[in-house]
């Protein structure tokens, strides 16, 4: 699959978001109709600014923040439902202050 490609997942059409975070082939899938983001292993909860990330991850995270995400389904842990915008904004602030190599 390619970045920004539309794929069918069940009865939903979702956009592929190449995320270059956990590994070079990391992807998220965003379903516009529902506002669901399937984030897989891509870090969405960024609690501190002491992380190390690929430089290309910052614009990807900015793109995710620009979407109307209502629920996030990570590859590990519980779904993130409710106040998703606040979580994304906080994570983005921490990400901007992190290290990029």
pLDDT tens-digit profile of 11-25? 999 999 998 766 778
Q: Specify if 63 maps to a domain.
A: yes
Q: Specify if 1 maps to a domain.
A: no
Residue 101 contacts by C-beta under 8 Å, 6 or more apart in sequence? 52, 53, 54, 55
pLDDT tens-digit profile of 36-91? 999 999 999 999 999 999 899 999 999 999 999 999 999 999 999 999 999 999 99
Q: What is the spatial distance between Cα 99 and Cα 97, in angstroms, rounded to a whole number?
A: 7
Q: Specify if 85 maps to a domain.
A: yes
pLDDT of residue 58: 94
Q: What is the spatial distance between Cα 90 and Cα 95, in angstroms, rounded to a whole number?
A: 9
- Whole-prediction pTM value? 0.91
CATH of the domain at 43: 3.60.15.10
Q: What is the spatial distance between Cα 61 and Cα 39, in angstroms, rounded to a whole number?
A: 11
């Amino acid at each position: 699959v390619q970045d920004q490609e539309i794929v069918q997942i069940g009865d939903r059409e979702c956009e592929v978001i190449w995320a270059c975070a956990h590994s070079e082939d990391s992807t998220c899938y965003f379903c516009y109709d529902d506002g669901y983001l399937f984030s897989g292993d891509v870090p969405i909860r960024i609690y501190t600014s002491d992380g190390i990330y690929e430089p290309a991850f910052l614009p990807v995270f900015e793109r995710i923040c620009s979407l109307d995400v209502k629920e996030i389904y990570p590859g590990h842990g519980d779904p993130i439902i409710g106040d998703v915008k606040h979580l994304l904004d906080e994570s983005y602030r921490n990400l901007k202050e992190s290290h990029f190599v």
